[in-house]
Amino acid sequence: MLAAILRSYGTPLVIAEIPRPEPRAGEVLVKVCACGVCGSDRFLQKGGFRSTLPIVPGHEASGVVAGGTITAFPVGTRVALYYLRHCGECRYCRTGRENVCASVQRMGVDFNGAMAEYVTLPAANLMPIPSTVDDISAAVVTDSLGTPLHALRVAEVQEGEVVLVIGIGGIGSSAIQIAKLLGARVIAASRSEAAADVAHAMGADDFIHCDVNLPRRVKEMTDGLGADIILQCAPSPEAFAWGAEALATGGRLVIVATALEPVPFNTNRLLWGEQRLCGSRGFTRADVIQALRWVEEGRLNVEHLTRTVLPLARANEALANLDRSDIVRSVLRP
Ligand SMILES: [Zn+2]
Ligand SMILES: [Zn+2]
């Protein structure tokens, strides 16, 4: 089968034929229909995850059941893929927190991912796609919607709170939509002026340029109080520092983006403001199922994430598109 392969860090993906994976007991063979390309794929390419190479990236995917263990989903069923192999038995898995399972393995990081014609996954990782949701939308729903939905759950967002989203890419743009759906007031911030159009289209109440003036601007917009919740979706240390300064008393600063370097932080700010600093790691199956339902009901729009569809052979172009402000998401169609 054809796959996009990372053979050494810092080099382009190589498009080549590799053997089709064989499902193990309890696993399903899935023919990949669509795979979104994400900032964390580039983090992987740069060596951030310290994967064992070679590896096939790709963790935001949908497909069709093609064989393996017979489950509730017979061959031909359209499925969204949950990217984490998890044990199902540890205390995290037992409480619906499979995203932090003690023995978690990530598709496209720890085992071969969906930038390929086929993947194998445990049957528990398949989620049926509602009939009115297409394959490409279902793929981007997993990470691009599941991740911000999970982050807003971690933040315990309440109706009427002010949510500041820093970084308006695939994750950030969806965070705006979901925060609005949950009744928040949303301020979007980005270094790219082009992101303003995306932010407003997603329902942001305000847009500000992400620079040293960000804390002052946010406070001006919130009666001097700051944002109740900040979703840090940009990998920049400066953006993290500016965001921390814009956080209200009692606020929650949620780290969503992987940082390429350590970030210095004054912990006294948390103490005096009784604030919380949280990490939000990926998403759970429940997050994806909820997001798929909202897309099916027309309450969330993924059209802006599905405009750029490329064949697998153009995987490197899809990675390069992460730097373009006019493309929110690229999706590969193996
Ligand atoms: Zn991702
Ligand atoms: Zn577990």
CA of 318 to the centre of ligand 1 (A): 13
State how far the Cα of 142 lies from the Cα of 81, in Å rounded to an integer.
Answer: 7
CA of 93 to the centre of ligand 2 (A): 4
Domain 156-279: which CATH number of 3.40.50.720, 3.40.50.11540, 3.30.230.70, 3.40.50.620: 3.40.50.720
State how far the Cα of 256 lies from the Cα of 233, in Å rounded to an integer.
Answer: 5
Ligand nearest to the CA of 144: 1
CA of 294 to the centre of ligand 1 (A): 20
Please report, for the chain, the start and end positions of each structural domain, with discontinuous segments joined by +. Answer: 2-143+283-333, 156-279
Instruction: Give the residue-averaged pLDDT of 11-17.
Output: 98
CA of 39 to the centre of ligand 1 (A): 6
Residue 166, beta-bridge partner list: 189, 232
CA of 154 to the centre of ligand 1 (A): 18
Q: Is the dihedral of CA 289, 290, 291, 294 positive or negative?
A: positive
pLDDT at site 259: 81
**pLDDT tens, position by position, 307-318:** 999 999 999 999
Spell out the residues 6+ positions from residue 160 whose beta carbon is closer than 8 angstroms to its own.
183, 184, 185
pLDDT at site 13: 98
State how far the Cα of 259 lies from the Cα of 236, in Å rounded to an integer.
Answer: 7
Report which residue type is found at 188.
A
Where does the pLDDT of residue 306 fall: very low under 50, low under 70, confident under 90, or very high at 90 and above? very high
pLDDT at site 72: 78
Instruction: Give the residue-averaged pLDDT of 290-296.
Output: 97
pLDDT at site 80: 98
CA of 77 to the centre of ligand 1 (A): 24
State how far the Cα of 201 lies from the Cα of 177, in Å rounded to an integer.
Answer: 9
Instruction: Give yes or no on whether 2-143+283-333 and 156-279 have one common fold.
Output: no
Where does the pLDDT of residue 230 fall: very low under 50, low under 70, confident under 90, or very high at 90 and above? very high
**pLDDT tens, position by position, 319-334:** 999 988 888 899 999 9
Q: Classify domain 2-143+283-333 by CATH architecture.
A: Alpha-Beta Complex (3.90)
Who wins on pLDDT, 72 or 9? 9
